[in-house]
Structures are given as structure tokens and as C-alpha cells.
Structure 1
Amino acid sequence: MLNKYSQGGCTAEEFKQMQAEFNKTASFLSPLLEFLGRSGYTDRAPEPYHHLLTELSKSSPMCALLHPCDDLDQLIEDLHNVRPGDLTNHTNTLRRLHLHCPLLWQLVAELGCMKEEILPLVQQMYMVAKQAFISQKEGAQGTCAIPGEKNLQCFPHLPMKRPRGRFLLDTVRKPEGPADGCRKYSGHHSTLIPGLFTLFCGHGVCYGFSVMESSESVNIPFTILRTRFQTGPRVVIYDNACKLHSYALNRDPEFFKTTWFLVDRLHWRNHSGCNCGYNADLYPQFSGVNTQIAEQFNSRLKRLKYHLPYMSRDHFIRHIQLYLWYHSRNTVLQCASTLPPP
């Protein structure tokens, strides 16, 4: 119902029913809805609040919009202590808000202040975001075979830290309906492997690869990250990051507690069902980051598709290793050439 109200087409009676429902289940929304109702907006949320309510109506985890950390803890406390009408005078607080939650920063910029009706909503949003890492402490049970462990993975400088483990949801297949919104469709060949899954650093150096024995799924990056990193990486940029984030939260939220999941710029336009917290373009700290490194390199790999399929497995792996090494070596040399002399 919140999505219907944010998009328009809500009747006055439906608005009252929504208020009554949220008074019971989500009271933190009540001050804002009461304010909008008093202002005469019973059919549709006005423009400054339209985007916020639309994003809140989506099924994405709240920790995609607000990433819990010590600095954000302090920021939420600072917002509570600053008088709502004076927030625009606190430039450092606004700068931090832009870094952590562009959605709220945009709302403040449009309104010219932080309305009193918004603050309870922000505080509750953050509590919900933190709850994702408090309520789930299942942990992995036993060991589990990992994709590509039969000499089909190569990560020279990322040795195995732990087995993937088996989680409760690994045995449950969740049906995906139209409401999921964001999909990734992968074609396949009747006799050839689906391809390679490559992992890059932000400079474009390839950490390694995994040969995909079946169609690409979020289990592949999840397995690589959990088995080869001591802790979850600071940022993961992936074309299907929204699904990977939910997959990780449902299995090992503690490991990925400090990880930001973002969708690369090329694929963001295909995402309609997840909230804007996955949009890398909204965060100023990522404005100069090339989010399409993997896609750009995959286009180069297509040059090899005419002869790789005819190689034996060992020759195939060696050929890919040499190709990736040569690419990464040139990238390192190029980076080194831009450094000032000692």
C-alpha cells in the first residue's frame, strides 16, 4: 500500500487504512504520514517525499540504504542533537550524510532542512538496518564442496582461508516471482561451459578466476569471497549485487557486516526492484571509480572464444592463467608509471 501511495492513485479511505496499519506495525512512519495527511496529500506523496517512500516500499534490505558502522552511529546521534531547521548550517554533517545515505541527503537538499517528522523515521531505519546483523547468527554447518575446486579455480594470492560451509537455506529453493524485480538471465551452450567468473581490484588487476560449470549464480561470488577473504571486503561491485547481498545476509551476515554491495553503472538501469542504495552513482566517494572493469575485461576474453573451446582442460587453464597474468602485469606497470619518482 505504501508503494501505491508513493506512486499515486490512493483514495482517502485507503490512506486512513494505511495510517491505521502503520500505527500498529510501523509507528515510526506515523508522524510523517500524519504530517502529509494534514497537508492534504492523501492520494499521493508530494515530490520531496515521493522518492523516499518509494524506496522504503521496496523489498531490499534496509542495510543497503544505511550501512551500519561507527561513523554512521555517530552521524545518527549528531542528527538527533542538531535542531532540524539548522541542519543546512552543519556542512560536515551534511557531507557525511551524503557519503552514507544519498537518499536522505537528497531529501534534506530538496526540503532545505531536516523536518521533525523525518528524524524518527531515520532512527528507525537505522535500527532495522542493524537488526540484519543481530538476529541472524546461524553460522555454517560442516563443509561443502565449492564450485571449481577441482583445479578449476586460480587465485594465486588469495589462498583458501576456510571451507564454504553449508547453510540452512542452501537446502531450500526459494521461488522467485515477478515481485523480485531484478533478474539476470544467462544463456548457455549445449556442450560448452558457461564461461569464467573473474575477480578484479579497483585498479584493474585480476585476482584470479573460477571456471563456471553451470549457469552463473550468486553462489559463485559468495563462495569465492567467503572462502578466500579473511573478512568481507569493504566494497563489492557486481552486476547482480542486490541478489548477492540478500544471499549473503541469509547465510553469513556477520562475515559481510562491513561490506557495501553496489551495482556497476552499466547494469544499474536494468534494476527496478531493488532500492537505490545499490546505485554506485549516488555516492560521491565512488564517482571516480571504474565500476565496469570486469565487463570491460570480459569483452577482451571474447577474443579467445574461437580457440579455447578446442583445448584440453589443462591447456585451457594454462592459457587463461597466462592471458590474465599478462593483462595484470601491464596494468601494474601502467599504474606504476603514474607514481611520482622516489
Structure 2
Amino acid sequence: MERIGPPEPVPYEIIPQSVPHRISASEEAYLIFVDAVLSEECALYQLSQSLFVGNGWNTRKSEAVGWCHIQRTIVGSEGSVICMCPDFKNTDRCFHQRFLTGYGRHAFPFECEMNDVSNLTFLFSRVEDSLFGDTFTNHFSVVNHSGYNNVKNRVVVEHHGDNNGGGTWTCPKEPSASSCEHILRARNTLQQLLTCDPSAKDPSASGEVFNGANSPRSVAGIISSVTYKALPPPLWARIKADPCHPKVSAVRSPPSLIRLDSLSSCACRREGSQYDSTRRVEERKCIIYNLLQAYQSITEVQKCPACVYGYIGPDATNLGLFNFNNRTMFTLAVLDDYTAHFTKSETPFVSWVASTACRYQNYESSISFVKEKLFRAAWFSYARLLQLDEDMCCSRCGPTPNVTIWDGVTLSFNRKNLLSSLQPPTASSNISETKSSIKPEVALQFLIDRTLRREIVAILDGPVLCLPKECQEPRPSQASQGVLEMMARIRLIPALIQKLGTVDSSLSAAFNCWFGTALLFSERPSQAVHQEFFLQLAAEESALQFLNGRGIQNLRQFLQHPRRNTISLLRLCPAIFKILSIDFEILGTISSETFEVLKWVYIRATLVLTRLKKYDYPQLVPELIGKDDWRTTGTCYGMPQIRKRPRYPGIPQDNATDLGGVDLRGEGCQKFYSTYGKNRMTGGLMCVWCPHSVCYGFHIIPQSEGRNDVFSAIYTRWKKAPEVIVYDFACALQPYCMLREPEFFSDTLFVIDAFHAKGHTKCGHASFLTNYLDTNPGLILVNSSAGESGNSGIRRIRKSVSYMSQDRAIIYTRVFLSIWNRQRIRGMESLM
């Protein structure tokens, strides 16, 4: 029995650096295999605790060929590895066995949570064949229905075709058959995984189904490269906030020898993995890939004493090179070229690699360009090193913008790739504050009586009220439909005035003054303003949507000094500002009816706000600041985290996902989260933008978008809530935020942008940004569609991200949004 795990470090012979040493051919071949596995050139998947499947390996050509199954048996700290590849069958030794014996504990930890059920069918590889997503190449590991469930009793079924099972199916057990026992199992497994239904079957398949699906695990993540120094953004994307970097000239001719120096290190980054001039130095062949062709060169390496297989190599960035694994190097220009392409247009890795390969042929390169898997692995290693820390801040809006535009973007990847490290702002922890006193509140509208609100809407929602001339001499047979509807609305006014009097005399007096029957014989321009005022009082939204905390304070100042020069205090409440402007224009002062009804509005809004406020303004949590790593948490904002989302045990299902649907009572907004987080994908991306279309941050939504995403992101990052929050579902977000943190959000205006307002037919006008443009010119400059503009840009990477793992999706998204921001920031800087 062989011991599974890294071998103990062996003391190295001390040889002067001037005497280079070349490693043996067999060792060189194995190191090429290890690099290929880690960079996904040679696939290796763990199907269960003991079962693996991977590409075979052609040592002579150094390339992956076919598939083979591998079994790792563990007994305590010892075990054995059995492989079905030709090398193991002939010699009882192969590179797969050597890799899992020496490096398997690190690449595939034994303590991982994987089922050890070997009778399942696994879809372990799924690669898109077409840029349009029409066809795929799928590989399945299938066990025979009869016989022993061991590594020898498995086959790899291959499928080229669409998601319906159409196309070509092949099985090595029966190469000439278009359908067999193994293909049948694979066809059914494909439908189970695509539909998330364990009982699904392929309609064209028949027979017994002894099936199931598990989630294979790949060794590959984002691989640490030998190059480790931070890399500046490309020259065309740099901004003034970037630190100064020495200019690196373009690589025009390859260096014949790349030497080790004091900055050299191993990719493992362990203690003791730095270059030591007293240890033996070896020379290794490497290939440098440039934009037009590739070159062979020699690099110095040194065996790493801190890890199993690693070699210390030169960082090489001073030469304009990116050292991926001491064997494969890219010029920074090549990696920057892909960055430019995918941020400017939809450019998946596969299409860019294909076009670059054509370019190599056109320039008669003696060495072909790398395969898509290797380049993809190298680019992500490179992207991790990019310094993109200063670009989530608009040069005009500052570090914390007062006007924010929020938008959920359908940029998602498969849920099976979610990792436990994902930490969206919605996550609570043991240091989260618990606020037990906060409980759901009802009757927060200005008018509590639902019937009364509906009667006001029935009378005022429509053309301006006036008595038609043809009705002054009754001739009902000649009256049009519009006249009849107007008369029906007018007849309801006396009864409504009486009902308003039961709420407050100021309401009935104001309604009688503005809509009394005696005033309806002529159409007055001012009447539309008064209708809008009462319609907003009768809205289903909270009174604080009509008049927030800041508006309450301003209304109080005006009522204390009701003069013309104090009207401007109420520009953020257009309905009040407009009736006051008419009063002062016609009367030169405020009418008694207007004054009294505004006093009632002030008292009612103050009572609602007082009911909600139960805790003081939230404090900062200093120990949180600067501690989250966006690469693993999936939460990346220009501001550090300063609080944790509190717990509200008094609110049922407080931190639950918004499930979507409509208001079943038919009263509120009918446009409510109905299209997010479907088809086995994550919920998308929550982004925040400033009015100048600069993205201030994002986080991955694990399941589906909801109000909690916006609430938690603001609460955990903003010291003071933004003055304006523009959001597609602001009508639902405002009560959500005000119930939980009224002290924090009381002065915030929640509005729906013009693009999405059309779908909110049940919402009051106080929820629409367009309602505020006439009275608050500052909001005219707000590009409320900044989120939609960014969403349009993000569509370029939507397809690529949908097939990525979590860590890669986060990196890819961050690079795209950083480049997006930098282009806009550079445009602003050019005007300064």
C-alpha cells in the first residue's frame, strides 16, 4: 500500500548557480502533465470520493487523448490508486496515479463533501460547440446495469447535439450501435439535469432507468501563476487615480535566456518558496506567445522546497512577460488584447483563440497558438493580478454618491457552481445586531380607509373635472359617453366630501373648495394640480413616500413661516409645491383651506414616521472595515463594509427571498420580481450606478433578486443613506427599508426610473422620478437609465459567464465593469 499525500521534502545538493542543471526527460514529461492538469488542458474530474475520470495522456506528443477512469482507495492515511489508462495496464504506473498519490490530497481533499455512490451516471463535461448555444459536446460516465460497480465496469458516452438529445451518441462498448444500455442512461441523465427533475426521461429513449446525477468536481480553479507581482491596467484603460508604474516596452524579440533573480518565486507562495542562490538551478525550455507568433526560449528554474511538484521561476513582468507555469509564457500584450476584445464586444474565449490561431497561421508561426482551455486558465491567473482598485468611484460624484441607480442584471451562472465562500451583503453573522422590537406595521397610508381611497380615485382619476356645457340644459339622449362618465364622477362628490369630514374637517373643506359643484361650470387650469394632490394622498403607498423625513422638516419650517420665499423648501414634494405656487400666484398668500390641509398632512406623516422609529441611527463596526475579499465573497463595492445586516426576528421571513408574483389583493403594484433566478441559474448581479453611468459596485445574487439586495448593500456600505435611490421596484423597496431602518432611510427619496415606470400602473405618482423633474431641476441631470445602459453593456459577457465557475465569473465580471468605468472616467478626465 502506498502512502497518499505529499512526499517529504528532500535536501538538495548545493551547486553554484553558474553550473546549470537540466532535469531528466522522464521528470520533464511528468511536469508537463502536471501543468496540463492544473491548466485544464488535461481534464481530471472527481465523481465521488473514490471515483475519478480524466483524459488519457500521450507522453510523446504531450497532449490529452481519450478518457479513462481512475479509482482511489483510502484506508486511514494509506491507500492505492488504480487507473484504466494504457500506461497503467502495461506497467502498473502512470502519471494519473503519480499525480493523485503525490498531489491528490491537495487537489481533491478527502474531507470534501462528496457522495461515494458509484452506481450513478455522471455528466462530467459539457462544452458548447456553437457560439449561439445550439449544440454541445457532452461526456457521461456510465456504469453497466449488471456487474460490479467498480472502475473497470464504467464507460464514457459521448454526445454531440442539442439539449433535446438530438445529434450523435457514441459508446466505446458498442461503437456501431446508435443506442445501447449506456446511451439510454446518458440520454435520461441529460434530461434530468437540464430540467432539474430526477424522474425526467428522454422521450425518444425507452427501457428501465437506473439513474441519478451527482456534481463532479474539477481540480481547476483560478490557478496561481509563477508571476505574482501586481500588474497595472493596460495603458488605454489607466486613469489618474492609478499608482505610477514603470513603463514596460513591447516584446519585439524573445529573450534567449530568462534568468532567476531575487524576486523569483514558486506559484505555491509558501514559506521558503523564494529563490535561493545557494541551491541548484536548472534550465527548462519554455514557449513565449506573442500577438503574431510564438518563440522558443530557455528559462532558469529551481526546485521548490516548500511544495511537492513546484519550481521557482522568474516573475518576468519587467520583460513584458507573464510567466504562467515556467513552461508557458505570454506577453502582456496578448493578454491585454483579449481584455480589449471582450470588453468592447461579445468575445468568448473560444472565438478569440480561434481568430488568434488564424493570425498565427497568417504570419507563418512555426508554433501554433495554445488551445482555448490553456489560454483561459492563463488569462484568469493574469486577471487576478490586475490592479483595479481605484475605478469604482466617479470623479464627479465622489466616493459616496447622493443619487444612486440600482438594477438587477441577469448575469448568472449555474447554481451547482455556487461555493460556500459567497457572502452577499444580505448575509448576517454572529456580530449582526438583533432588533426584536421591529415588527410589521399596517395602515401607514395617509387615508387608512381603503374604500375612501378608492372613491377618491374613482372621482379624480381622469380628465379635469368640469360641468360640460351640454349638461347645463339636460338633454341626456344627446350626451356622449365621455359626458356621461364625467356626470357620474361629479354626482359622487357630495357624498365624498361628507366622508372626508369624518377623517378631518380640513380634508372636506379643501376638497369642497377645489371640487365643489359650484366651481365645476368652468374648467380651471389649477384644478389638475389639486386633483394630483388628492390622488397622491389616496395612493396605496406609505405616507412617507409622498413626504419623507426631510420633506416633513421642510413642511414644518414652511408652516411656521408661510411666505413666498419659503416655498422652495418643498421642491422635493411636487404636489405640495404646485398648489402653494398657485395660491401665491392667484391670492398672493396661502389660502386657509390649503394651510389647514397641509397641517393635517404634516401631522399624519409625522405620526407614521414616529411609529416606525424604534432604534437610534446605526453605528459603524470598525473591525469589519476592509476585511472582505471580493474574489471569494462575490461582493465588490467601492466602499468598504462598515456594518453587518441586522436580524429582525419580529418580521416573518425577514431575510427570505422575494418569490415573485403580484399583489393578490389587487391594490398595490402588480409588477413584482417575476422573471429572476430561473432555469437552474443564480439570481444574477445587483449593480449600483451613479448618474454618469459609473458602476460603484456589485454583488452576486445567489438565488433571485429582491428588495433585500438593495437594502443590505446600502446599509452595509453607506455611512449615510443616499438622498435619491432610483430602482425598478422602488415602490416596494421604500416600505421594506423604512420598516427596518427608518432612522437611516428617512431622508431618502425612492423613485422608479422613467424606463420602468410604464409597468407600474397601480403605483402612485410619488413613486415616479418624472413626477419630480418640474420642481427639482437638479434631478433632470440624473441619467435614470444608467442601470439599463450598463445592463446593455453587460450583455456582452452574459453568455460567457453562464458557463463559468463562481470564482471565474466574479473575476470576469469585475474586469469588465472596471474597464467600463475606466472608459467613462477617462472621458471625464479629458474634459477637466
Q: State TM-score, norm by structure 2.
A: 0.36
Q: Who wins on radius of gyration, i.e. which is larger?
A: 2
1:292-333 deviation per Cα after TM superposition (whole angstroms, max 9, x unaligned): 111110111111112111211111111111111222222222
Q: Distance in 2 between matches of 1:225 and 1:256?
A: 10
1:102 aligns with 2:574: yes
Out of 588, 608, 612, the position equivalent to 1:132 is 608
- Give the deviation of 1:197 after TM superposition: 0.6
Q: Write the mapping of 1:18-57 to structure 2, written as runs, cut at 5 A.
A: 18-35=496-513, 36-37=515-516, 39=518, 47-57=528-538
- Aligned partner of residue 303 in structure 1, secondary structure: helix
Q: Report if aligned partners of 1:164, 1:227 keep a CA contact under 8 Å in 2.
A: no
Q: Which residue of 2 aligns with 1:67?
A: 548
Q: Report if aligned partners of 1:164, 1:226 keep a CA contact under 8 Å in 2.
A: no
Gaps spanning 5+ residues in structure 1: where? Answer: 83-89, 141-147
Q: Distance in 1 between matches of 2:529 and 2:745?
A: 33
- Aligned partner of residue 667 in structure 2, secondary structure: helix
Out of 246, 249, 258, the position equivalent to 2:735 is 246
CA RMSD of aligned residues (A): 3.0
Letter in 1 for 2:457: N
Q: Which residue of 2 aligns with 1:309?
A: 802
1:259 aligns with 2:748: yes
Q: Report if aligned partners of 2:663, 2:669 keep a CA contact under 8 Å in 1.
A: no
- Give the deviation of 1:245 after TM superposition: 0.3
Out of 667, 686, 708, the position equivalent to 1:179 is 667
- Aligned partner of residue 305 in structure 1, secondary structure: helix
**Structure 2 vs 1, CA of residues 138 and 74 (structure 1 numbering), >3 Å: closer, same or farther?**
closer
Identity score, percent: 21
Out of 311, 332, 335, the position equivalent to 2:825 is 332
Q: Distance in 1 between matches of 2:778 and 2:602?
A: 21
1:98-145 deviation per Cα after TM superposition (whole angstroms, max 9, x unaligned): x222223333455644433122112221222233321123459xxxxx
- Give the deviation of 1:194 after TM superposition: 2.9
Q: Which residue of 1 aligns with 2:698?
A: 209
Out of 141, 153, 159, the position equivalent to 2:641 is 159
- Aligned partner of residue 196 in structure 1, secondary structure: strand
**Structure 2 vs 1, CA of residues 149 and 304 (structure 1 numbering), >3 Å: closer, same or farther?**
closer
Gaps spanning 5+ residues in structure 2: where? Answer: 1-454, 462-485, 617-629
1:141-179 deviation per Cα after TM superposition (whole angstroms, max 9, x unaligned): xxxxxxx99713222423242333225234379964321
Q: Which residue of 1 aligns with 2:457?
A: 3
Which has the higher mean CA deviation after the structures are superposed, 329-338 or 294-303? 329-338
**Structure 2 vs 1, CA of residues 167 and 128 (structure 1 numbering), >3 Å: closer, same or farther?**
farther
Q: Where is the strand percentage greater, Structure 1 or Structure 2?
A: 2
Q: Distance in 2 between matches of 1:265 and 1:175?
A: 22
- Aligned partner of residue 310 in structure 1, secondary structure: coil
Letter in 2 for 1:260: L
1:10-38 deviation per Cα after TM superposition (whole angstroms, max 9, x unaligned): 464x5444333322223330211333336
Q: Which residue of 1 aligns with 2:437?
A: none
- Aligned partner of residue 700 in structure 2, secondary structure: strand
Q: Which residue of 2 aligns with 1:300?
A: 793
Which has the higher mean CA deviation after the structures are superposed, 23-32 or 149-158? 149-158
- Give the deviation of 1:182 after TM superposition: 4.5
Q: Distance in 2 between matches of 1:73 and 1:162?
A: 34
Q: Which residue of 2 aligns with 1:144?
A: none
- Aligned partner of residue 199 in structure 1, secondary structure: strand
Q: Distance in 2 between matches of 1:37 and 1:11?
A: 9
Q: Distance in 1 between matches of 2:555 and 2:582?
A: 22
1:323 aligns with 2:816: yes
**Structure 2 vs 1, CA of residues 312 and 47 (structure 1 numbering), >3 Å: closer, same or farther?**
closer
- Give the deviation of 1:222 after TM superposition: 0.9
Out of 721, 726, 731, the position equivalent to 1:237 is 726
Matched length? 319
Q: Which residue of 1 aligns with 2:757?
A: 268
1:190 aligns with 2:679: yes
Q: State TM-score, norm by structure 1.
A: 0.82
Q: Distance in 2 between matches of 1:278 and 1:287?
A: 16
